[in-house]
Amino acid sequence: MPQIDDIVDSLRSFEGITRKYVIPDIIRKIREISYRGGLPHSLGEDSATIGTESDEYVLLTTDSVVEELCRSHPRAAGFNVVLANIMDIYAAGGVPTSFAVALSYSSPSVGEGLLQGVIEGSHAFEVPIIRGHTNPSASCTYIVGAATGRVKVDDVLTAGGATNDDLLVLIFDPQGRRGRYYRLGWDTVTKRSSDDNIRRLTVMTRIAQEHLATAAKDISTAGLVGTAAMMVEYSGMGALVDLDTLDRTRPSAIPLKDWIRMFISLGFLLSVKQCHLARVEELTQEHGLRAVVIGHVNDSGTLDLQYGDERRRLFDFRDGPLLTPAGEDSDEPS
């Protein structure tokens, strides 16, 4: 059983979280300097919401994969850039409609691997590739993807809507394996059919349609605790995360210190009112996933961890923006 201080230290030094420390300054500069930067925005959301003349928003998101994975395992990098973008669309309660990709490489075999992975991802999540850009003689190697989706105006899920006394609910598939190329990844996708992937992902669409969550995020490379921190900071709230529950419900092959830092494919974190918990659990089971209450939201402005009889403060958002600062208009569409 790891000590809670060891867990806190591992999270504070975890690259998946520390790389987020630049976000507040980037958001500040966009707000203050970019064209019409003071307008309502979606800078803290998994997907931006773009208004139309219909009763739907267009969702837009973008993501990339680190250069090391692109060079070493290009096929996996191509697949994962599709996965990351599709997760963002579903986290907003939407349905993906298209995907675009930019490839940069110098090795033809790397370029071929990246493209093959993207094509496989398009089939796995049933999303068409409609646009791309390629630089086959670049000095750096990368892949960047963007996805669009759609969601009813009244159904969109925000990452910044968590309120005091909400439950933090983890939705995930315990039937998976540690990532082959990224050891802090929980893979529940690559051995499944596209029908199975869509069936599980659309639990978020149902939750959105029934208005069962106040906030939602997919479990990103910041890991489970990092994702919770980003959600509650963006909501102007705090939270207590129960490590004992996470320890009891984690996949048996994954140590707790790894599990709380893992990118969980087809994993989502919700903020849910107590009165909606039973329905969320029912829907989750119907879609082949599991729902676990891992903590609760409070108005402390801090993120604390509870493990046995010990409690430690991981982050204090009252000291200033840390990961994803809330803004006056952060929950409004762009």
Of the candidates 168, 166, 164, 169, the one whose C-alpha atom is nearest the C-alpha of residue 301 is 164
Domain ranges of the chain: 4-25+157-319, 42-152
- Quick one: fold of 4-25+157-319? Phosphoribosyl-aminoimidazole Synthetase; Chain A, domain 2 (3.90.650)
Residue 25 is encoded by which pair of tokens?
């300054």
Of the candidates 274, 314, 318, 312, the one whose C-alpha atom is nearest the C-alpha of residue 300 is 318
Across residues 262-281, what is the average pLDDT? 97
Question: What is the gyration radius of the CA atoms in the chain, in angstroms?
Answer: 19
**pTM, two decimal places:** 0.95
Q: What is the DSSP letter of 328?
A: T
Across residues 102-127, what is the average pLDDT? 97
CA 81 from chain center: how many Å? 13
142-152 and 95-104 beta bridge pairing: antiparallel
| Average pLDDT taken over every residue of the chain | 95
3-state secondary structure of 200: helix
For residue 172, give every residue at least 6 positions away whose Cβ sits within 8 Å of its Cβ, in sequence order, or none.
186, 188, 219, 264, 266, 267, 268, 289, 290, 292
> Considering all CA atoms of the chain, what is the largest pairwise distance in Å, rounded to the nearest integer?
57
Of the candidates 189, 165, 180, the one whose C-alpha atom is nearest the C-alpha of residue 69 is 180
Q: What is the dihedral of CA 207, 210, 214, 216, to 10 degrees?
A: 20
The pLDDT tens digits of the residues spanning 120-140 come to 999 999 999 999 999 999 999
Confidence of residue 333 (pLDDT cuts 50, 70, 90): very low
Of the candidates 331, 327, 232, the one whose C-alpha atom is nearest the C-alpha of residue 37 is 327
Residue 187 is encoded by which pair of tokens?
């893979």
For residue 3, give every residue at least 6 positions away whose Cβ sits within 8 Å of its Cβ, in sequence order, or none.
none
Domains 4-25+157-319 and 42-152 share a fold: no
User: Is residue 137 within a helix (H) or strand (E), and if so which, with residue range?
Assistant: none
User: Is residue 280 within a helix (H) or strand (E), and if so which, with residue range?
Assistant: helix 277-286
- Quick one: fold of 42-152? 60s Ribosomal Protein L30; Chain: A; (3.30.1330)
Q: How many CB atoms sit inside 10 A of residue 164's CB?
A: 12
pLDDT at 37: 87
Answer whether 83's CB lies under 8 Å from 121's CB.
yes
Across residues 32-53, what is the average pLDDT? 89
The pLDDT tens digits of the residues spanning 175-224 come to 999 999 899 999 999 999 999 999 999 999 999 999 999 999 999 999 99
Answer whether 231's CB lies under 8 Å from 162's CB.
yes
Phi, psi of 253 (to 5 degrees): -80, -5
